[in-house]
Structure 1
Amino acid sequence: MEHDIEISISERRNIEPEEIINLYRANEWSSADKPAELYNALRNSHSLITAWDNEQLVGLGNAISDGHLVVYYPHLLVHPDYQGKGIGKMIMDKMQEKYGSFHMQMLTADGDATEFYKKMGFSRAGQTEPMWIYKGNEH
């Protein structure tokens, strides 16, 4: 039975590790296979924005930043049952409150995420070529 959802956005970091892992597994993200590292990475991010449906974690985004000029957004994910409801935009809007004036905001997007980020004001970074050393398997 569908219920009206009221999503709350939070910057709290006291999140149970299993809640995080469940969200990542629901999205089939390989970082869920490194639960301790994932948990520590998120808790040590410059910013961690979470979305909640009552007490259920339904989305999160994090930022790594020097705090003044540059910010990088490694993760933004929303539970599949909650996608398409504006939660990702709510998280990114909160990030823009903090980092909107920064000289450079960076992220890597693929698939459907590319259009989402274009709507959020991001564009391809000139003639740059995305490069990485990546130990995941979902790309």
Structure 2
Amino acid sequence: MIKYREDSEIDYIRLIDMISQCGRDDMSTDYKELYKTVNNSMRVVTAWDFDYMIGFANIVKAPECDKEVKHILVDKEYSGLGIEEKLEDMLAIG
């Protein structure tokens, strides 16, 4: 059963893996940079399969243009299950 969390518990190793897996070049895979980005996020939501983080979403304020940027990542093995949509909905609610 997939559980969703709106707290700061992040598995950074899994997050780096998902960034690489999804081929995202708009997010750093450097731990310190990623930690800073997550902590400066306006909102963070994660999806978990028991204790395994399978999804991540956040909203950050882009300093260069002062607009909000969303990042939504879901492990490829869990795609097509509606997780991405649920994470996006949870970002919008907050």
- Please report the TM-score for the alignment, with normalisation by the length of structure 1: 0.56
Query: Offset at 1:34?
Result: 2.5
2:13 maps to amino acid: E
**CA RMSD, 1 decimal:** 2.0
Please identify the structure whose Cα radius of gyration is greater.
1
Point out the structure with the larger strand share.
2
Q: Is the counterpart of residue 79 in structure 1 residue 75 in structure 2?
A: yes
Query: Offset at 1:25?
Result: 1.8
- The higher-RCO structure (CA 8 Å, 6+ apart) is 2
Q: Is there any run of 5+ residues in structure 2 with no aligned partner, and where?
A: none
Query: CA distance change for structure 1 residues 63 and 44 in 2, over 3 Å: closer, same or farther?
Result: same
Query: Offset at 1:73?
Result: 3.2
Q: What's 1:45 paired with?
A: 41
Find the residue that maps to 2:9 and give its secondary structure: coil
For 1:50-77, what per-residue CA distance to the aligned partner results, in whole angstroms no more than 9, with x for missing partners?
Answer: 1111111111110125xxxx97233111
Aligned length: 89
Note the 1:21-40 alignment, pairs <5 A.
21-30=16-25, 31-40=27-36
Q: What's 2:4 paired with?
A: 9
CA distance in 1, matches of 2:42, 2:81: 26
CA distance in 2, matches of 1:79, 1:10: 16
Query: CA distance change for structure 1 residues 93 and 74 in 2, over 3 Å: closer, same or farther?
Result: closer
CA distance in 2, matches of 1:51, 1:16: 11
Identity across the alignment (%)? 26
